[in-house]
A and B are shown apart, each in its own frame.
Chain A
């Protein structure tokens, strides 16, 4: 049953050094505040799993939290490279990063397989390309009905999933709407989960019957962190800070500017720093 905790308590409860963790959010609802807390707690040797390791993973990789990255697209969307990720892969700074690389289709299927308690995912993919040559986890299976050879990847079963959502009610049920990504699958595939939320409400009130709801008994811990997705966004609360994504390119390009930014904005600040971004979208426009 979900427990209400502070962000620091939540990260402590679900993550320890050497764990595997999926911090998901497909552009929308990326758990930035939680990523910053992982950096403040100086977690090490993590296996970071994420389809699109964008700024939050760039920051964690640059601060040496990660031993391995499981991913399918590692860039700053619409802007360019992730410089800290590239520095780790190309130059081994701050240390060497092991990578396990997939396509989006493979990872989406692997999360579903994890949530469905299956050992692997099967899909039609990876035809004619080089990824299976460099990733031994990509294998194939022959369909017992048609004889077709299909691609397989192991199910994703992380020790922990960390996501950001719109609302929790007082029972600890969690609601998210909009671009819902793979967050539901990541939570259901993981052993433990932390959800940071924009708002805690008495009752969800009128809602879309098809909204994604994670019942309280599927979630380990919930922390109230308004603005916790910034510079990503929370549908109906605030918009994506595209200007920050553009600015990050310059901040992350050099190790010194990166470290100075982390010191001023992560190490010397707490989750309350995100609250200023939590104003409603219509005021932000």
Chain B
């Protein structure tokens, strides 16, 4: 019997949330792995869109970058980058945006810009890219991030993408009609914003994970749902498809598996 690693469990738990009806704006890394795993297992008709302009793409290997040739070769069509951001994202045609980040706070705001002061950063991160507008235009946002107390922090030094601000109602105050982050899928658990306060609440622990482990990977006192579920273990098929995908990908990128 195969057992999933924490990272594999994160990808598989995220993939299970996707359906054939979804139109996903896909980022590189865990989101791309999750979306393609869903497409290769239970959601073959899912629509995947990458910000480089590829609509309805079906890559056989995971792209290293959002603009790999594989994405264009297997897409229904490819549009220019201004069109992607104006018509497709801002136009409101995307149901799910997948984001990750270097840091997240208890209301699912994300930082991918700097650690430390902006003008004299301790660590300069890549920046926002598409994320600030993905976070406000997609119907809802799924976030995948590995837990750790440097990533799940009490206070963000910089807000790159808006989640739920300082709590329930903040999105509406900004005039946003989209739902924002609805699921945070980590390597240890799944969190959802509390319906009353929008504070992230652990709703499901991955197999074998304890509350203490989850709390140790988080920089603020975490809330747990009254009825805490256990994430179903990875199936043999889910693991096999995901591992095959990663092996194909490593070969394609010139890195030995």
Q: Could you list which residues of chain A lie within 8 angstroms of chain B, going by C-beta atoms? A: 26-28, 51-52, 71-75, 77-79, 81-82, 85-86, 89-90, 101-105, 108-109, 111-112, 123-131, 134, 148, 178-182, 184-185, 212, 233, 235, 239-243, 245-246, 281
Alpha-carbon gap, A122 to B39, bound state (A): 36
Given A108-B86, A128-B174: A101 in contact with B255 (beta carbons within 8 A): no
Instruction: Give bound CA distance, A109 to B90, whole Å.
Output: 11
Which chain A residue lies CB-closest to B110? A129
Contacts of B158 in A (CB 8 A): 130
Contact check, B86 vs A240: say whether CB atoms are below 8 A apart: no
Task: Give Cα A129–Cα B129 distance, bound, in whole angstroms.
Answer: 13
In the bound complex, what is the Cα–Cα distance between A102 and B113 (angstroms)? 11
Alpha-carbon distance between A194 and B151 when the two chains are bound, in angstroms: 43
Contacting pair A78 B132 (CB below 8 A): no
- Decide: B85 and A77 in contact? CB cutoff 8 A: no
Q: Would you call A130 and B160 a contact (CB within 8 A)?
A: yes
**In the complex, A180→B67 CA distance in Å?**
10
The distance in angstroms between the C-alpha atoms of A102 and B132, with both chains bound, is: 10
Assembly CA distance A240 to B18 (angstroms) = 29
Residue ID in chain B nearest A182 by CB atoms: B81
Do A240 and B131 touch across chains, with their CB atoms under 8 A apart? no
Query: Does B65 contact A78, Cβ atoms closer than 8 Å?
Result: yes
Chain B interface (Cβ within 8 Å of chain A)?
Answer: 28-29, 51-54, 63-69, 71-72, 78, 80-82, 84-86, 89-90, 109, 113, 118-119, 121-133, 136-137, 158-162, 165, 170-171, 174-176, 252-255
CA distance A200 to B175 in the complex (A): 51
Inter-chain contact A240/B90, CB cutoff 8 Å: no
Q: How far is the CA of A109 from the CA of B86 in the complex (A)?
A: 8
CA distance A239 to B252 in the complex (A): 11
Q: A134-B118, A242-B253 are in contact. Are A178 and B82 (CB under 8 A)?
A: no
In the complex, what residue of chain A is closest to B130 when comparing beta carbons?
A104
Decide yes or no: A179 and B82 within 8 Å by CB, A71-B127, A104-B130, A127-B162 being known contacts: no
With a cutoff of 8 Å between Cβ atoms, the chain B residues found around residue A185 in the complex are 80, 82
Of the candidates B81, B122, B160, B175, which one forms a contact with A181 in the assembled complex, judged by CB atoms under 8 Å apart? B81
Cβ distance A192 to chain B, nearest Cβ, rounded Å? 21
Partner of B90, one of A27, A105, A131, A148: A105
Closest chain B CB from A213 CB (angstroms): 13
Closest residue of B by beta carbon distance from A77: B65
Question: Are A78's CB and B255's CB within 8 A?
Answer: no
Cα of A273 to Cα of B19 in the assembled complex, Å? 48
A179→B78 contact, CB < 8 A: yes
